Structure 1
């Protein structure tokens, strides 16, 4: 008996990369939802490496945080390529750091509230901002839509440009990575591979982007 599910993709690669270098990255300031642009031309070497790593990968769908630094990163990485129209989505934004946005660790390190937030590994909300659970709620809603569309449209490779905190939370939830080990550098990210099982998609593996060693897609 024919089963329509046999025609569905059984594997989905979701590549989530962090935006390139900004002035606030260099100054080690919390950016959060602040719309900080890339620091150009200083950001370009990392962006070039990411573009080279993804040059031969055809993406079925492209998603991007709506903040300027991610839009600029996407434009650089996919410059001159035919691609699906990008979807700019506020759910891919960085954690909202609230009162900490624009501040540095050096300025905050003696604040009891800040120390409590750090010690909680983000589970407490920042004052006026979000908790890790708040961040995951919007990321998981986005990811569920990506997976649903993959089944309906036959997508096999999806690109998303996001932020360091968002990727760290994805790694914590999908890889069981330690909070402090989940950080990726500017213009770096992860390739999350999902496989379709009886009860839906599950993350079966994850790898660095750009790959630390040669890898086949």
Structure 2
């Protein structure tokens, strides 16, 4: 079991892409980072994670297999790639937006199916895409496996590099906020602290990553 029944999981979103700027649905399209535009945000995240790891390093790292996450991870590790075990995890991909991927709001806003999808808060799957329930199911399976591994290896600190929709869903369940209120910017995220209580892991608090300057 993780030492003292505590586990800190730092979950961050990938850096900036061209489709982020154009406000296009990326979903599971393998879109790379927009360089050099993404670098300032990645540098800020890298510096924050280095300060955090100076106290105690990450025991393991999980990353979506999409290139924008793998590029983000390579930048924030920069020279420390071999220090920690890396788990490349397709279940950490963004929601599959199906036929809407590559399109922006202005192209879709008048489509009845798109309006129905928005009004359902994603519970109704987009054409050829994934419902919010399907996203929750794959994240549930991944998170159960993560906790099992954390207990087996006595992990205390984990890093996860993923996508905006995944972080929204984690914030919804662990911070008890609305899915649409849980957005984070590119190269930013949240740190969740879990305590084991009565045989179950419970999120006791969360905070912004990178930490605000006033909190350092």
Does residue 205 (structure 1) correspond to residue 205 (structure 2)? The answer is yes
Q: Which residue of 2 aligns with 1:160?
A: 160
Structure 2 residues without counterparts, runs of 5 or longer: none
Change (3 A) 1:188 1:43: same
SS of 1:203 mapped into structure 2: strand
Give the alignment of 1:49-198 within 5 angstroms: 49-56=44-51, 57=53, 58-81=57-80, 83-198=83-198
* Equivalences, count: 211
Partners of 1:63 and 1:161 within 8 A in 2: yes
4+ runs of 1 displaced by more than 6 Å? none
SS of 1:116 mapped into structure 2: helix
Higher helix share: 2
Which whole-Å deviations, capped at 9, do the CAs of 1:64-104 have from their partners, x for residues lacking one? 00000000000000111252131111000000000000010
Structure 1 residues without counterparts, runs of 5 or longer: none
Q: Could you say what the CA RMSD is over the residues aligned between the two structures, in angstroms?
A: 1.4
Partners of 2:3 and 2:155 within 8 A in 1: no
**1:204 Cα offset (Å):** 1.3
Q: Which TM-score applies when normalising by structure 1? A: 0.93
Partners of 1:9 and 1:151 within 8 A in 2: no
**1:166 Cα offset (Å):** 0.7
**1:179 Cα offset (Å):** 2.0
